[in-house]
Structure 1
Amino acid sequence: MLSVRGLQAGYGNAPVLFDVNLDIGPGEVVTLLGRNGMGKTTTVRAIMGLNTPRGGEVTFQGARVSGLAPDRIARRGIGLVPEGRQVFPTLTVRENLVATAANRGKAANPWTLPRVFALFPRLSERVSQSARTLSGGEQQMLAIGRALMTNPHLLILDEATEGLAPVIRAEIWTTLSTLKAEGQAILLIDKTLSALRRLADRHVVLEKGRTVWTGTGPDLDRDAGRVRAWIGV
């Protein structure tokens, strides 16, 4: 579904990514691991066209997307839950959810307001509140719901549970497990390795803008010492 080969990107004159490689198949959950500053968010931004790649290639469902505008990439079927949530603060919960809603892929069971509210009952209780009045955890639920309302083939979450209370983190992990069981492909960045190991099919480790390790859960167990040195946990 998603293939990244030799990806290079950066900011201004400062290169950040030098050789990033990863693959995600239909229904797979893949993690992107690494210490802060190793290029995880830059990789996501380059995939989404928010940072123009300087080299390499990103293909999605067999078509090259590197170099396309972000809105065109999103319309191909990639939904992003960005770091820091970035909900529309002056819009209500309902307005946030419907603002970018679409079913371009003609999903047989598309994401709708009732489905999102069933996934996150708290949002249904706050449907008329402006997003800026929500707690951090509720804003993260809203950001996930907003991305799902685009009915993406691939869902990308950058720092899925960062800064959230333990009870909210547990709810987010349960939600992601539910989405995986429904066949949703996910690229996931987070620091909670124990939860990631239970959820993900494969893991990709970045070190200084390069892919240095890729493997499954059992591979991660066998290479635990080496991987922990790279990701710093």
Structure 2
Amino acid sequence: MRQPNLDEAARHFAEQLSGTIGAVVGFDVAFTATRLDEGDRLTVSTTDRMGIVLTAGREPLLRLAVEFQCGWDAPGHFLAVHKSQVHVSSVEDRAPLHRYEFVKSPQSGIPCSHLHVHAHRDAFTHAMSRAGERTPRAKRRARGRAVGRVEDLHFPLGGARFRPALEDVLQMLVDEFGIDAADHWESHLAQGRQDWRHHQLAAAIRDNQKHAADTLAGLGYTVEPPPEGYPEGPGRQVSSY
């Protein structure tokens, strides 16, 4: 059943994001839901577009900027993320250290869920300068005159349904950078991660109902198809790169 109001659904999503990050960092974090146009598209993002300042030893260390572009899913039943950006940068430099990005319908063959790492290593740039020409993107890189940059590479992250959750990014920042975290932050992230994966699993099942039914039947369950039968073929989201 369709949620009654897109703005209301987006505001609820913004509140969830505020609660998730706030429970980790120990202070209030504001997210805003904003209409992009007259259609069914909204942006849910950190109120401060520069991002949330994260501290280590109570000293500012990193900025976390989060933005989701949302709308209804294809059947028009649930709020869906069409595009997202999670950027981590130093407080001393606006350029990201790394960024997690998702594009529901990517162009030029890039993976829909991917990671960019802003770094430099000679071995990387050497390999990029000798790229093959099998795909248009690799061909442009091989024939380009500029030195390849590591941040131009798209590292795939599990496709549309199995991409990392925001909770995974937050845990990485605590574990790897030692940012200051509130008491019981791990339990909050564990619950959020479980909710995210249950939601994604449900979406993956809707994408490929016949396969899900066959799997349950193989485990001994009795599964009856709907009167109209199962949708034909796997969902695009399941098989996307």
Q: TM-score range by the shorter chain?
A: under 0.3
**TM-score scaled by length of structure 1:** 0.24
Q: TM-score, normalised by structure 2?
A: 0.24
> Larger radius of gyration, structure 1 or 2?
2
